[in-house]
Amino acid sequence: MSEKKRRFVFTPESTWEEMPEGGLILDAGNADDFKTGDWRNIKPIWHEDKCKQCMLCYPVCPDSSIEVEDGKMTGIDYDHCKGCGVCAHACKFGAIDMVDEAE
Amino acid sequence: MAIRDKLSGNEAVAVAMRQIDPDVVAAFPITPSTEVPQYFSQFVANGAVHTEFVAVESEHSAMSACIGSEAAGGRTMTATSANGLALMWEMLYIAASSRLPIVLSVVNRALSGPINIHNDHSDSMGARDSGWIQLYCEDNQEAYDSVIQAIRIGEHPDVNLPVMVCYDGFITSHSVENIELLEDDKVKNFVGEYTPAEYLLKRESPVAMGPLDLQPHYFEHKRSQAQGMMNSKKVILDVAKEFGKLSGRDYGLFEEYRMDDAEIGIIVLNSTAGTAKTVVDDLRDKGVKAGLIKLRVFRPFPFAELGKAVSGLKALAVMDKSDGFAATGGPVFADVRSAMYDFAKDVPCINYIYGLGGRDVRADDIAKVYADLGEIAKTGKVSSTFNYLGVRE
């Protein structure tokens, strides 16, 4: 994905004077700034050995958390995965297990 | 040369809107504000404006459409009253927090119940914490002038907040009075083009508005919104000064009437100020040092300015045309008295709730308030802080 220059990057330290007013979002894809993975209470575990790279999990993830490089799955973005389990359900090869976040 | 005319308050506001020629007006009729979109829709039908008029099915939809239009980058106006304003409620907050400078004429009417179509301030007073700037107008001239100024105030980059222009239902909205209008081109030049920094239809740099905003950033956005309101005070005065040069009519945060050496005074909003000024004149003729402050800008609240303005009095009464049901007086009283704690702690200050549901407010009623104040000034004793004026008991 080409990296476009961002107009504003939100961080946990952003002050009210710096932030765009009115909750305005100036850049496409700024959800990347917000680490929402801590909402999760069950967690997908990817077994690379069982994965056939069929890409059935990738389009069903509601949060773009299946990491892909050069057409191949490389892992899971735990900063944004909310543990919905749709990927595990879509996988026909048992390559994704859902486990308790506490484990 | 200014144009002399005779117009009702609603007609005057509709004429101001024609001269402003906003991109969008989305409105739903409700007494006594109905005439504003009614007159304006005639201007649209006659091709006198280029405005897109959106006839919606409720006030909630009216404000929602205004938000969408303003967010898209269009200058947007509307009008409502009473329960119409109440139905807009959740959208009022969204307009303000999204920093969208919509201009709304609130033709003040009693909020149900019991159902009543006549004037008091219970509608706009309830919206005082919604984040909108609130301007209050004594007559049709002030309503006309304030609607034009409201565009410039709200759209100022230091402010970016919606503005309510409030004037009294029927008393001002339907009474025909003499008025001086500005020429169309002067108004057009004064308001200029709406050029927001960011808007949804900006092709070269698209943005998103109204996102979910949780614990990490919501508070910062509200702090920023509060700054817009704080900044607006200076902008209101700057715009008033510029408008004064154009029109010859002066506006401030409030008007002081015969306050220079006044010993007793009242604070009042909207049309009652006209009645009260004649009472002040009568009292002055009798040698009573009476004065009056007509509050024009209620949000932002002119805390220090108002506190200082009443600091020389021996007694003050705050007139509330709505009951906040705090059981401790009306909303204007609460804010005025809070300012006095810092600037006029020793001035006795009492509250009158009056004129609810269009109950007539006569010169005699106001004279009674000044008589009560005269007694307090003489004795230094307040027998009753919270009072109702003109109710049968």
Do B78 and B53 lie in a common domain?
Answer: yes
Residue B11: name the closest of B82, B86, B124, B107 by CA. Answer: B107
For residue B224, give the nearest of A7, A10, A21 by CB distance.
Answer: A21
In a mutational test of the A interface, the residue from B97, B159, B198, B225 whose CB has the highest number of chain A CBs within 10 Å is: B198
- Tens-digit pLDDT profile for residues B56-108: 999 999 999 999 999 999 999 999 999 999 999 999 999 999 999 999 999 99
Do B235 and B347 lie in a common domain?
Answer: no
- Interface size A-B, in CB pairs within 8 Å, comes to 56
Residues of B in contact with A16 (CB under 8 A): 219-221, 223-224, 227
Do A91 and A46 lie in a common domain?
Answer: yes
Give pLDDT, residue A102: 82
Do B121 and B160 lie in a common domain?
Answer: yes
For chain A, the average pLDDT equals 93
Do B96 and B229 lie in a common domain?
Answer: yes
Do A22 and A2 lie in a common domain?
Answer: yes
Residue B279: name the closest of B355, B362, B352, B367 by CA. Answer: B367
**Domain tally for chain A?**
2
Q: CA-based diameter of chain A, in Å? A: 50
For residue A23, give the nearest of B206, B211, B216 by CB distance.
Answer: B211
ipTM: 0.89
- Residues spanned by the domain of B94: 3-247
| Reported confidence tier of residue A34, pLDDT bands at 50, 70, 90 | confident
Q: Does B99 touch chain A (CB under 8 A)?
A: yes
CATH number for position B365: 3.40.50.920
Q: Sort residue A94 into left (φ over 0), alpha (ψ -120 to 50) or beta.
A: left
Do A16 and A53 lie in a common domain?
Answer: no
Do B43 and B186 lie in a common domain?
Answer: yes
Residue A93: name the closest of A29, A48, A43, A44 by CA. Answer: A48
Of B247, B276, B309, the position where a domain reaches its end is B247
Give pLDDT, residue A103: 74
| A27 CA: distance to closest CA in chain B (Å) | 7
Contact B350, B387 (CB under 8 A): yes
| A40 CA: distance to closest CA in chain B (Å) | 16
Do B329 and B384 lie in a common domain?
Answer: yes
Give pLDDT, residue A4: 67
Give the C-alpha separation, B26 to B68, whole Å: 10
Give backbone dihedrals phi and psi of B139, rounded to 5 degrees, phi first.
-145, -175
Do B99 and B209 lie in a common domain?
Answer: yes
Do A29 and A45 lie in a common domain?
Answer: no
CATH number for position B58: 3.40.50.970
Give pLDDT, residue B1: 67
Of B218, B247, B276, the position where a domain reaches its end is B247
**Domain tally for chain B?**
2
Do A30 and A40 lie in a common domain?
Answer: no
Do B170 and B290 lie in a common domain?
Answer: no
Of B247, B277, B308, the position where a domain reaches its end is B247
Judge if the upstream peptide bond of residue B22 is cis by omega within 30 degrees of 0.
Answer: no
Give pLDDT, residue A1: 41
- Residues spanned by the domain of A75: 36-100
For chain B, the average pLDDT equals 97
Element containing residue B338 per DSSP (H, E): helix B331-343
Do A41 and A90 lie in a common domain?
Answer: yes
Give pLDDT, residue A2: 45
Do A25 and A41 lie in a common domain?
Answer: no
pLDDT less than 70: residues of chain B = 1
Do B227 and B85 lie in a common domain?
Answer: yes
| Reported confidence tier of residue A30, pLDDT bands at 50, 70, 90 | confident
Q: What is the 3-state secondary structure (H, E, C) of B6-75?
A: EEEHHHHHHHHHHHHCCCEEEECCCCCCCHHHHHHHHHHHCCCCCCEEEECCCHHHHHHHHHHHHHHCCC
Give the C-alpha separation, A27 to A4, whole Å: 9
For residue A16, give the nearest of B160, B209, B224 by CB distance.
Answer: B224
**Model-level pTM?**
0.94
Do A29 and A40 lie in a common domain?
Answer: no
Do A75 and A48 lie in a common domain?
Answer: yes
For residue A23, give the nearest of B210, B216, B223 by CB distance.
Answer: B210
Residue B240: name the closest of B307, B296, B184 by CA. Answer: B296
- Other Cβ atoms closer than 10 A to B274: 16
Q: Give me Rg for the CA atoms of chain B.
A: 21
Do A95 and A56 lie in a common domain?
Answer: yes
Kindly state the tokens that stand for B140.
Answer: 């049709």
Give the C-alpha separation, A15 to B336, whole Å: 32
| A35 CA: distance to closest CA in chain B (Å) | 10
- Tens-digit pLDDT profile for residues B252-291: 999 999 999 999 999 999 999 999 999 999 999 999 999 9
Kindly state the tokens that stand for B25.
Answer: 């007006």
Do A48 and A21 lie in a common domain?
Answer: no
Q: Does B275 touch chain A (CB under 8 A)?
A: no
Do A64 and A91 lie in a common domain?
Answer: yes
Return the SS3 of B81.
coil
Do B278 and B306 lie in a common domain?
Answer: yes
Residue B103: name the closest of B38, B47, B36, B50 by CA. Answer: B36
Do B266 and B117 lie in a common domain?
Answer: no
- Other Cβ atoms closer than 10 A to B353: 23
